[in-house]
Amino acid sequence: MPVIELRGIKRIYRMEGKQNESSVVVRALRGVDFAAGAGEFVSVMGPSGSGKSTLMNILGCLDKPSEGTYTLDGIETSKSDADTFAYIRNRKIGFVFQSFNLLARTTALENVELPLFYRSREKGEKRSAQSRKERAVIALREVGLEKRMDHFPSQLSGGQQQRVAIARATVNDPAFILADEPTGNLDTGMTLEIMGLFQELNRRGKTIIMVTHEPELAAYTKRIITLRDGELVSDKPLTQSRNALDDLARWKRNHALLAGEAQPAGLLCAAEKYAAEEGAL
Ligand SMILES: Nc1ncnc2c1ncn2[C@@H]1O[C@H](COP(=O)(O)OP(=O)(O)OP(=O)(O)O)[C@@H](O)[C@H]1O
Ligand SMILES: [Mg+2]
């Protein structure tokens, strides 16, 4: 059974015109069919205005389609009431945004605990504060940031902040992770680090849907779908995805060589050690 199943999804925006003007209708999605199973890692690509954000909003249960059905983990979302819709969003989807969206006055650990805290207020949820904390620590350990759990976002690098956001997205064990240009605010090294982390999570079975403008990043995923003018015009599996941690090690080596910081041999070891540590998450 697919985790995600979209059938005939249409999204029409109607904008009321001013007096004497007719209303404008924008057909942002024109009948999209798409399904993804557990363990997939899919890139959503397409030019500006093709409907990527509209599709993400629907996949993320932030918006409902004008027509069509969206089944997530066996639940028909389009027919659900507002409460169920919010429940699905909080429990079934882990969001990762370009701008991290961490709470500034809250530590890394508390940021990751937040989804568990919201969940604790649901009926029948018995997890204690202690077990919530333990679960959040595990999620931070999985992104290699256990030692930084008492840091505030301002005390973390961009890449580390995004890793906290990824821990927050996974802490509830969602049906899938929805990432919207997750490396848009990061430099090359941090971008490769984050893509390496997504690949590792995916190897461990997490389903990931990622919007990206960049073919170089889509090359780290396992399947690319492309939208154009609100239609899904291509859907291709990638038989050989690039390995982000290999690319990270290579990038560090070249970078350090250019900067003349150290002997290549020593650096090679450091980069490989780093990659190995990351790989062993
Ligand atoms: N709230 C809205 N009201 C009216 N039209 C909208 C609205 N949101 C998006 N659109 C229109 O729907 C179409 C698809 O927009 P969307 O934001 O999904 O594109 P996108 O692929 O995410 O583009 P980008 O790469 O620039 O972010 C565009 O023509 C856009 O102008
Ligand atoms: Mg967009």
> Measured in angstroms, how far is the CA atom of residue 152 from the centroid of ligand 1?
34
**pTM (2 decimals)?**
0.88
- Domains in the chain, please, with CATH? 4-242 (3.40.50.300), 244-281 (no CATH)
- The 10 Å Cβ neighbour count of residue 132 is 19
> Measured in angstroms, how far is the CA atom of residue 4 from the centroid of ligand 1?
22
Per-residue model confidence (pLDDT) at position 134: 96
Per-residue model confidence (pLDDT) at position 1: 82
- Ligand 2 is an ion; its neighbours by CB within 5 Å are 52-53
Q: Which residues line ligand 1 (CB under 6 A)?
A: 13, 15, 26, 28, 46, 48-54
> Measured in angstroms, how far is the CA atom of residue 53 from the centroid of ligand 2?
4
Per-residue model confidence (pLDDT) at position 267: 44
* Mean pLDDT in consecutive groups of 10 residues from the start of the chain, 281 residues: 96 85 90 98 97 95 96 91 90 94 96 89 79 95 96 96 96 95 93 96 96 95 98 96 96 84 47 54 44
Per-residue model confidence (pLDDT) at position 279: 53
Q: Which atom of ligand 1 is least distant from the CA of 15?
A: 4
Per-residue model confidence (pLDDT) at position 257: 79
Per-residue model confidence (pLDDT) at position 135: 96
Residue nearest atom 10 of ligand 1, based on CA coordinates? 28
Residue nearest atom 26 of ligand 1, based on CA coordinates? 48
